[in-house]
Amino acid sequence: PTSSEIESYMERWKDLTGEQFKDVVFVVDGTEIQVKRCGEKSRMKENYSVKKKQYSQNVLVVCLLNGEI
CA–CA dist 5, 30 (Å, integer): 25
CB 19 within 8 A of CB 49: no
Instruction: Tell me the pTM.
Output: 0.49
Phi/psi-derived region of residue 18, left when phi > 0, alpha when psi is between -120 and 50, beta in every other case: left
CB 48 within 8 A of CB 55: yes
pLDDT of res. 60: 92
3-state helix, strand, coil in the chain (%, to 5): 35, 30, 35
CA–CA dist 6, 20 (Å, integer): 18
Task: List, for residues 3-54, the tens digit of each pLDDT value.
Answer: 888 788 777 766 666 677 677 778 899 988 888 877 777 766 777 777 777 8
pLDDT of res. 51: 74
